[in-house]
Structure 1
């Protein structure tokens, strides 16, 4: 039966680091945008810098929110941000709460990423490795922007990495605390300045032998390898973001059996059994609709 998740306000899906809307037939939110449209949602994917700080990406997002509002006649938008996209959405909501109905963080590093901390320490400030890594990553981001049709977007690899460390996000949170939990691992206020806040995320669980056919997914193998670099949230992370670090507003669940890229439906729909990442987005759109959003 046809789902009806027609939200009052349009939904913007906001990508994170190295993200884009589409390259050829490949979409970063694989199958998610179409599933939402099939359920009656007006959905857009803004184009943002693949690598940059949260504030620069947030300002880019605010410009495109204005365009969506002008094009649809809507008064507000619902923002669903994956990974760094959650921080981008939070910035936009803090700066312009009058045009944001809700912010939903999907696998967002709302208290920073231990993996980013490890990488930041590995790239010594002012050293040749940092300069080389920055140049390579920026070139890669420029290449992604070119392929996605937006070569004009600025890129800044080191700024994006700094923005994702626990120190960098702590500085960000001091300026934009809306929706944050008062205690570690808790829930934050569900509504601040008229904006509703939600979050969900997953964790890498069990051993690779427990994954069945998902064990041959190279993206899952990468996330599982990265999960070993977490200390405070060891065995409680999705490979890039810790479970409790992801908490924001109303926590829908933070231990889905999903790695960081599964929550974008990247190959998850092909090899993972027992959970459908796309369904999480459609169900959330129904939640937003029922809340009058």
Structure 2
């Protein structure tokens, strides 16, 4: 039997802001974990604080990595992070490169999110509008925590201002000064393929009229949200997935930055409702084969 996804080290999937493992019966990585396991991979979807800084989330991830290594007997893990999960994974790899074989950023705001910048300008944390937004995020997070059925660990801390600041261009710039591994030297370029023994990869998508607004996305409310959020972009207007810009997502070896996928489609959320011709699960399966071929 063929095992195209049987990587040497386990695949650890790290969610983004307001991330989860499973809400009732709905998994964050819809169809992706099953596809990877069918291909022979050892896969673990983890939970970290849904609303907190990338550094706090990264420390939580390091603890979880140590648990996974004890459970599996593996020496290292391959980290795949979506959105803020990519920053979380980058932190863990920078702090403990001996435990990490690779970091893959999937629609990661590696140079910040223009949506986060817009919210910081128009909904500052010390304003009435900012407090209302923070309250709404807290309520959403609390509801999701009640519906979470895939995580059974201790209660995770919440710090909404820190989580928001971690995604702004200013906040990520400070993060990048401390943890620059895999970052491109030039805007829109590729970063180093390997740093301190850790391989770095990334891919992302963009909103594309005629593709992302067709197919099953016609019935997807999160896609409509991404199209609305895209209006906040200035530097990468017309070149974003609704939350993260095309070039802002670059890290290490760039597998692709214009897949017809919005920020939620790229991890096959909304019960797999994606745009015309989009195949997000295939990207993960192909990447597992890529990591296997690299011997990790």
TM tier, smaller: over 0.9
**Candidates 191, 194, 202, aligned match of 2:194:** 191
Which residue in 2 is equivalent to 1:160? 163
Q: Is the 8 A contact 2:30 2:272 kept in 1?
A: no
Which residue in 2 is equivalent to 1:89? 89
In 1, distance between residues paired with 2:276 and 2:209? Answer: 15
**Shift, 1:143, TM fit:** 2.6
Deviates more, 1:229-238 or 1:119-128: 119-128
Q: Structure 1 residues 270 and 190 mapped into 2: Cα distance closer, same or farther (>3 Å)? A: same
In 2, distance between residues paired with 1:28 and 1:252? Answer: 22
> Pairwise mapping of residues 251-262 of structure 1 onto structure 2 (< 5 A)?
251-262=254-265
**Candidates 248, 264, 275, aligned match of 2:278:** 275
Which residue in 2 is equivalent to 1:102? 102
Which residue in 1 is equivalent to 2:238? 235
RMSD: 1.7
Deviates more, 1:209-218 or 1:140-149: 209-218
Post-superposition Cα deviations, 1:15-52, rounded to whole Å, max 9, x if no partner, equal 00111001211001001011111111000011111110
Task: Please give the secondary structure, in 2, of the residue aligned with 1:235.
Answer: coil
TM-score (norm 2): 0.94
> Pairwise mapping of residues 56-67 of structure 1 onto structure 2 (< 5 A)?
56-67=56-67
**Shift, 1:159, TM fit:** 1.1
In 1, distance between residues paired with 2:219 and 2:228? Answer: 13
Post-superposition Cα deviations, 1:190-231, rounded to whole Å, max 9, x if no partner, equal 000000000000000126896244333211111111111100
Q: Is the 8 A contact 1:208 1:215 kept in 2?
A: no
Task: Please give the secondary structure, in 2, of the residue aligned with 1:88.
Answer: helix
Q: Is the 8 A contact 1:198 1:251 kept in 2?
A: yes
> Pairwise mapping of residues 37-186 of structure 1 onto structure 2 (< 5 A)?
37-148=37-148, 149=151, 152-186=155-189
Which residue in 2 is equivalent to 1:33? 33
Q: Which blocks of at least 5 consecutive residues in structure 1 are unaligned?
A: none
Between the two proteins, the alignment pairs up a number of residues equal to 293
In 1, distance between residues paired with 2:183 and 2:213? Answer: 34
Which residue in 2 is equivalent to 1:247? 250
Q: Which blocks of at least 5 consecutive residues in structure 2 are unaligned?
A: none
Q: Is the 8 A contact 1:50 1:144 kept in 2?
A: no
**Shift, 1:138, TM fit:** 1.9
**Shift, 1:3, TM fit:** 4.9
TM-score (norm 1): 0.95
